[in-house]
Amino acid sequence: MISFSQVSKRFKGGQQALNNVSFTIESGEMVCVTGHSGAGKSTLLKLMAAIELPSNGTVLVANQNIGKLRPAAIPYLRRNLGLVFQDHKLLYERSVFDNTALPLLVQGVPRDEIGKRVRAALDKVGLLGFEKALPVTLSGGEQQRLCIARAIVSRPAVLLADEPTGNLDPEYARSIMDMFKSFHQVGVTVVIATHDETMLQYMGGRTLSLSHGVLQ
Amino acid sequence: MSWLLNHQRAFRLALLRLLQTPFATLFTLLVVGLALSLPSAMYVGLKNLNHWLGHLPISPEISVFTQTDDPAALRTLEQSIRGEAGVSAVRLIRREDALKTLAQQLNINDLVDGLARNPLPHTLVVTLGPDTPPDRYSQLQQKFAALPTVLAVQYDAALNQKLHALRQLVANAALGLGFLLAIAITAVVANTIRLQILTQRDEIEVSMLIGATDAYIRRPFMYFGLLQGLLGGLTALLLLAGFSWLTQPYLAEFTQSYGNTFIPQSLSLSEAIALPVCTAALASLSAHIAAMRHLHRMRPSL
């Protein structure tokens, strides 16, 4: 599903985020990416979503070469990915429903279909009944769950989550991780970047460990 | 169907954004409307000026003097003059009438009565269409002079030249002004689109991240521009209507002094439709380009 082959990423300022990284994630696999902050976890995920392009090497996602993708093809690649961002990237003046519906609107899904799928996604993350609420009225954990609902609403084959349990207490973090586990169980490929050791142990599965941009 | 759905949603979103900021919208429409109403008013003025010049007794005419007295020959001459391109009317002044008018004007009735025979020829007064260029006059003068039985051909070249130059000046001024103001509209619309994009920055960024195509993101801005252009054009029509309503009494007074032969002209229906349609097209094009430029600049910052 996702394959990195001798991938390096150097930013414009000369900072080396990834150095000669190679690995493969099979379809339906659940993988955690770990490492100290600044180790290149976020960059790794961004390369998968074509938010950044590799400086060297080949990144293949769903058989598409990220480095050689036409700009017009990028949106269609991203529609197969569910992204959970470290900073949530919610629209704060839009309701919970509208935030969740955004990926479906972008894909031109009809209105009644949107209603059904948004409610299903909100149900999965336990936010049913909050449709009309604004994100600011939600707690940090609820905002994270809203972000997850938006990521899964279009039923993507791959879920990429960057520090999904960042500032949450352990109890709450575990419930979030349980959600990812359940997505994995229904066949979704899940990639989670986290620096939280207890979460790594809780998740099980394969771990990719990064240190200063190098895979250990 | 999803194509139609996308456009419907984009249009609704654009309309919503316009209505969300009623004051900003109002001012933008006023700016676009004012920018448009100036060249439009100028255009209407030109139309009126042309119309008025066409009705002036001093409108340039060519006088063709003929030596024949034979009605058939006169008719043939008149027909061959009428057949020339640009000729809009031919009027015959019979030599008897000409003498009578002359006698009255100069108050020399006694002198005229004493004449053994009428020394004046028959005259054909040729009026040309309002858009005839000055060199056509001299062309026709030569042509008419070569016709059989023609004694002489006369026309006021200087007056003709002046009127033509005046019309050209107004037409070119309106065109130039229209061009400048088209640029102004483009700039106004592009600027509102730029501000729109800045305020929608988060939404655009998130949309890009979850798989929105450029066309999807651009579409509401294009409709935003289209609506601004359309409503701006309608505002211009309203301003123009108000302006002509205010000036109507003074114009009437002015035209009355010229014998009331002149009916003030306004925009025709097709012109009134063309104005908002053209501005809508111009504005949506400008919005499209502005959105494309700014979205392109936004991409690397993701």
By the 8 A CB rule, do B280 and B233 touch? yes
Please list every residue in chain A whose beta carbon sits closer than 8 Å to the beta carbon of residue B213.
72, 75, 106
Q: Which CATH number fits domain B61-155: 2.60.40.1930, 3.30.70.3040, 3.60.15.10, 3.90.950.10?
A: 3.30.70.3040
Q: What is the average per-residue pLDDT within A3-8?
A: 94
Q: Which of A150-164, B38-52, B79-93, B284-298 has the lowest mean pLDDT?
A: B38-52
Contact B211 A75 (CB under 8 A): yes
Contact B206 A105 (CB under 8 A): no
Give me B150's structure tokens. 């023609």
Edge-to-edge strands of the sheet including A16-25? A16-25, A2-10, A56-61, A64-65
Give me B3's structure tokens. 């194509």
Residue B302 confidence class, pLDDT cut points 50, 70, 90: very low
What is the ipTM for the molecules in this complex? 0.89
Please list every residue in chain A whose beta carbon sits closer than 8 Å to the beta carbon of residue B21.
none
pLDDT tops 70 at residue B262: no
pLDDT (0 to 100) of residue A192: 94
Three-state DSSP state, A25: strand
Give me A160's structure tokens. 């990429």
pLDDT per position as a tens digit, B6-55: 888 888 888 888 888 888 888 888 888 888 888 888 888 877 777 776 66
Q: How far apart are the C-alpha atoms of B194 and B294, rounded to whole Å?
A: 7
**What is the overall mean pLDDT for chain A?**
92
Tell me how close the Cα of B276 comes to any Cα of chain A, in angstroms. Answer: 31
pLDDT per position as a tens digit, A180-201: 999 999 999 999 999 888 888 8
CA-based diameter of chain A, in Å?
49
**What is the overall mean pLDDT for chain B?**
83
pLDDT tops 50 at residue A25: yes
Q: Identity (one letter) of the amino acid at A198?
A: T
By the 8 A CB rule, do A154 and A79 touch? yes
According to the per-residue pLDDT averaged within each range, which of B59-63, B106-110, B145-149 is highest? B145-149
pLDDT (0 to 100) of residue A83: 94
pLDDT tops 90 at residue A205: no
Chain A residues in contact with chain B using a Cβ-Cβ cutoff of 8 Å: 49, 51, 71-72, 75-79, 81, 83, 85, 89-91, 94, 102-103, 105-110, 150, 154
Q: What is the average per-residue pLDDT within A41-61?
A: 93
pLDDT (0 to 100) of residue B261: 59
Q: Which residue of A has its CA nearest to B6?
A: A108
Q: How far is CA A29 from CA A32, A198, B272, in A?
A: 10, 20, 65
Cα angle value B270/B273/B277 (rounded, 5°): 130
Q: Which of A2-11, B174-183, B275-284 has the lowest mean pLDDT?
A: B174-183
Q: How far apart are the C-alpha atoms of B131 and B126, rounded to whole Å?
A: 15
Contact A51 B209 (CB under 8 A): yes
Q: Return the domain boundaries, chain B.
A: 2-55+163-301, 61-155
Q: What is the average per-residue pLDDT within B251-280?
A: 78
Q: Which residue of B has its CA nearest to A53?
A: B300
From the list A191, A166, A88, A155, the residue with the least C-alpha distance to B211 is A155
Contact B212 A75 (CB under 8 A): yes
Residue B184 confidence class, pLDDT cut points 50, 70, 90: confident
Please list every residue in chain A whose beta carbon sits closer than 8 Å to the beta carbon of residue B202.
89, 91
pLDDT (0 to 100) of residue B301: 45
Distance from chain centroid for Cα B234:
18
pLDDT per position as a tens digit, A118-160: 999 999 999 999 999 999 999 888 999 999 999 999 999 999 9
In this complex, is the C-beta atom of B9 within 8 Å of any C-beta atom belonging to chain A? yes
Q: Which H helix or E strand runs over B66?
A: strand B61-66
Give the CA-trace dihedral at B215, B217, B223, B229, to 10 degrees.
-100
pLDDT (0 to 100) of residue A148: 94
Between A62 and B250, the more confident residue is: A62
Q: Which residue of A has its CA nearest to B9?
A: A105
Contact A79 B209 (CB under 8 A): no
Please list every residue in chain B whose beta carbon sits closer than 8 Å to the beta carbon of residue A108.
2-3, 5-6
